[in-house]
Structure 1
Amino acid sequence: MSGSLLPAIHSDFTQRFGYEPLLVRAPGRVNLIGEHTDYNGGFVLPAAVDKEACFAVGLNGGSRIRLVAHDLGETLELVNAAEISPSDTHWANYLLGVAAQFQQRGIAVPGFDCVFGATIPIGAGMSSSAALECGLAFALNQLLGTGLEPLELARMAQQAEHTYAGVQCGIMDQFASLFGRAGHVVRLDCRSLAYEYFPFDTTAARIVLCNSGVKHSLASTAYNTRRQECERGVATLQRHYPAVLSLRDATLVQLEAHRAELDPTVFRRCAYVVQENARVENACRHLEAGNLAAFGQEMYASHAGLRDDYEVSCAELDVLVEAAKAAPGVFGSRMMGGGFGGCTINLVAPEHVDAFIASVSAAYQQQLGLKLETYQTTIVSGVGVVPVAVVQA
């Protein structure tokens, strides 16, 4: 249960609309390693966590779509569910985009009501948008009896983000929200969508997120520019190696051999992605061996690559990672998410968590004059229905 959020959302729904809804929770996610690899056909290692979006959804028997953002106290109403189009209300687009995906598959979407809220910090790189998309996709799939597989729901949620929110995201965030498994991280091959679970022992290491407080906007040009730079690198390599369809297929040897043909920036972007894919595979081997110290070293190397070669870090994130390195009981730390703000993810021995938070907070205050917000997260299962009886208990 998300503290008191789901009961409040259930109560808001029944008071507004006068009937019992379906209740759904959709987790946010952390990504332990494998950043900016997803849209390059590479590997990622996410987990679903206990910061989540909560929904009350029901079919209203009419043609209207009525959306309520519980946290914001805002509503949006569409008179005709058959005529969905992007809205000027930013938050509503994540939901409308999902309903439109059902329609594109020839599934009639009748009028429905939806009240939602979230405990996922916005702009912290924990995929609040994917949780919104996946939660509603899951709810409508249940209510309409469409029987779509979770992978199809993930694709629909991703397409909703592309078409209605204007962010050309990879599929990792939506996949992690739907396929999360308690006590496990999941390695996803973003090209084949093959996946494998690896146990993650949170009694040996806690996942602590440090929020830089710098809001990132992924729809901003920088994210889409990085995609284009990677595509330019692939196009150059393809002339020599037709089998290189994405950076996933490329090697550092190949990149070095044609360095002169690549713009220096494009070379650095591509080198980072190739190395990051190798780090994800190494990290999984370290997890299987129970070697958290070696896992943590891959995280530090990931951050250095994101900072120097991919250039998506910022001063605040760098200060947080350096402060983590200096603190006792820390296995590893790196920026997480698209970059330019958001959180660092830190693996910390449980007995050192309080001291870690105190020392990193002090360093952040001292060096940048900023107050630090931190979150301890637990790895949970993916999107699911919550029985009304549990909420009312």
Structure 2
Amino acid sequence: MINHFYKTYGENSSPVRSFFAPGRVNLIGDHTDYTGGKVFPCAIDSGTTLLLRPSTDGQLHLASTNFSERLSLPITHRDKLPDSHWGNYPLGVISLLAEEGFEIPGLELLYSGNIPNGAGLSSSASILVATAFALSKILTTPHTLIELAHLAQQAEWKFAGTQCGILDQFAVAMGKAAHAIELDCHSLNYRYVPLNLDELSLVVTNTNQRRAVSESAYNERVKECETALTLLQHSSNVTCLGEVSPELLKHHVTAFDDDPIALKRVRHIASENQRVTEAVAALENNDVQRFGELMNQSHTSLQQDFDVSSNELNALVQSAQSLNYVLGSRMTGAGFGGCTISLVARNRVEEFKTTVAASYREATNLEATFYIVQASNGVREVT
């Protein structure tokens, strides 16, 4: 990649620094992060590499091996680019750091990612966190990794238009090899849980059905959850939906008599939080069978109560769940397309890929793509 950097920007005496931020996959606990609930993600071994050095002209230069367009902007540039432009992610981080009072120097930045865009594996969070971490090192800012995750989240809100929770950025910043992260998104209490999967593999399957989260129903779900919380607070003292257990919901179900959609949304959140707790316990007890069952239940809830699945995701999940060597399968991430995550017997992975690909092709006329992922470390400088 260094040759690509020199081809893009030329060679000079300034050292080029290299950083890497992974993507992430969420094993269970979706659409619970922005409601203050629990999630269980891990960083993965695919991600974004960022090379940078000071620019000779004091300008901000952005380039990517994944996109043809290069940008050269004044270092004082603070305006958004057109919607869906990849440059909004680094610009968002740079703008927020400038707002905090840090003097941004002229820079040449080159990004290269191997996470499929729009697949739901946090390619955007990977770019954001890579940028935030790299600039924190260049500027010697006092930010912790968790503070950088928050900064990246704010940048996505302001520059990409997605009202995301903290899950993606936290996992990308805080990932640990061979571990997943049990995270309470309200308190930000977290702990690392070993992924002892023995003879099992985590297989991500991409629908290759493109989605645009900021233009989709994602923000609508956020608003529906805000409405549900307001309704629930008429009869309870909960401060976020993440505090709602299935038992509490039963006691206050009449709060949703006039809004059955809000009831469905809360029912998913309450049950999904419980599933995360049970799934972590199952994993720690080496009960991978139970872990897989909870994955299956999670997909049903996301499909029926949260309405964020798609025909393509359902086709993949149904095909995977029909195989006796698959312990569990579910959509992962925001939904509306993207990927599934399946727990597959390691010695049957190739058979899984062939079988599911054929079934999916017949159901949708689309070609699925498969990735065997490993839980990996979070953002870091590469020396």
How far does residue 218 in structure 1 lie from its aligned partner after superposition?
A: 1.1
Equivalent of 1:65 in 52, 60, 65: 60
1:264 matched to 2:260: yes
5+ long unaligned stretches in structure 2 = none
How far does residue 247 in structure 1 lie from its aligned partner after superposition?
A: 0.8
- Quote the Cα distance in structure 1 between the aligned partners of 2:57 and 2:314: 52
TM-score, normalisation: structure 2: 0.95
Equivalent of 2:298 in 291, 302, 305: 302
**Partner of 1:75 in structure 2?**
70
How far does residue 148 in structure 1 lie from its aligned partner after superposition?
A: 1.5
Q: Would you say the 8 A contact 2:316–2:340 is kept in 1? A: yes
Secondary structure, aligned partner of 1:348: strand
Equivalent of 1:36 in 31, 34, 46: 31
**Partner of 2:81 in structure 1?**
87
* Equivalence map 1:233-248=2 (5 Å): 233-242=228-237, 244-248=238-242
Q: Would you say the 8 A contact 1:300–1:333 is kept in 2? A: yes
- Quote the Cα distance in structure 2 between the aligned partners of 1:370 and 1:221: 21
**Partner of 1:369 in structure 2?**
365
Q: Would you say the 8 A contact 2:60–2:72 is kept in 1? A: yes
Secondary structure, aligned partner of 2:19: strand
Secondary structure, aligned partner of 1:114: strand
Secondary structure, aligned partner of 1:311: coil
Aligned-residue RMSD, C-alpha? 1.6
TM-score, normalisation: structure 1: 0.93
* Equivalence map 1:326-341=2 (5 Å): 326-341=322-337
For residues 9 and 277 of structure 1, do their structure 2 counterparts lie closer, same or farther at Cα, with a shift above 3 Å needed? farther
Deviations 1:3-58 (A, max 9, x none): xxx44544445636664311011100000000000000011111010111011011
Secondary structure, aligned partner of 2:86: helix
Secondary structure, aligned partner of 1:283: helix
Deviations 1:326-353 (A, max 9, x none): 1232111000111110000011111011
5+ long unaligned stretches in structure 1 = 1-5, 388-393
Alignment coverage as a number of residue pairs = 380
AA aligned opposite 1:284: V
How far does residue 101 in structure 1 lie from its aligned partner after superposition?
A: 1.3
AA aligned opposite 1:268: K
Q: Would you say the 8 A contact 2:35–2:225 is kept in 1? A: yes
**Partner of 2:380 in structure 1?**
384
Deviations 1:94-143 (A, max 9, x none): 00000011112111111111010100011110000000000011111111
Q: Would you say the 8 A contact 2:181–2:192 is kept in 1? A: yes
**Partner of 1:353 in structure 2?**
349
- Quote the Cα distance in structure 2 between the aligned partners of 1:170 and 1:8: 37
Secondary structure, aligned partner of 1:219: helix
Q: Would you say the 8 A contact 2:9–2:108 is kept in 1? A: no
How far does residue 83 in structure 1 lie from its aligned partner after superposition?
A: 3.5
Equivalent of 1:277 in 273, 293, 303: 273
1:291 matched to 2:287: yes
AA aligned opposite 1:198: V
